Amino acid sequence: MDAAQDLVVQLVGTPWAFFVVGLVLAVGSVAVFLPSQALVVAIGTLLVGGDGGLLSVLFLVVAASIGMVLGDLGLYHLARSVDLGSRSWFARPKVRAARDAIDGRYRAAPGRIAVLGRFIPMGRLTTNLVGADSGLDLRRFLVSCVLADVVWAAYCVGIASATGRWSREQPFLVTTLAVVASILLGLAISAIEKAVRRRNEAAAAA
């Protein structure tokens, strides 16, 4: 843990921070175990706490968004070329059930579902696989990903900006709280969306 903290501190304030964020988020399209959200929030919190300035914060949003879009496009093409969705881990019952659950809604409103998918565990992977499976054309897929990724990046950096001013004395305590807050807010957004959808489905069936 100390080594990871030292690495983050060394990265903050250098151009490498933005490169690492973009790289981790690109690879994170498939490697869901990477702490992508924690990394963005942590670096954003330390940037704000260290008076990195508005420009550095905007660069972080841009780097995160570009990394995510590139990763999404890579997964889209990979899934289309080798039928990734039917292989190994991606075909497990839980993953398959999650993909089936959002397939129809994704086809109808890919942008909205992609945005919501960024705030739930494995949601990015699931929505990207559904996008590849659904036959959605590349342009619509790209537009939905850009929208979702910019919203997600701005959300994470917004959480970091809101807490970063208090991070000067206890940077990693505040960073940890910011990461936890970002995750809890994301889960709350997902829960609200599910509740609204179920109410609408019940009303339609009545």
Alpha-carbon torsion (122, 110, 146, 49), positive or negative: negative
Number of DSSP helices (H) and strands (E) in the chain, helices first? 9, 0
pLDDT tens per residue across all 206 residues of the chain: 445 556 666 777 778 888 989 999 999 888 877 878 888 888 888 777 666 667 888 899 999 999 999 999 998 888 888 766 566 556 667 666 666 777 777 777 888 888 888 888 778 888 888 888 777 788 889 999 999 999 999 988 888 877 766 656 666 676 677 677 777 877 787 777 777 767 766 776 66
Task: Kindly give the interhelix angle for 53-82 and 15-27, rounded to the nearest 10 degrees.
Answer: 30
**Domain coordinates of the chain in residue numbers?**
1-205
d(CA 25, CA 148) in angstroms, rounded, equals: 13
From start to end of the chain, where are the E strands? none
Its pTM surpasses 0.85: no
For residue 152, what are its two tokens? 């997600």
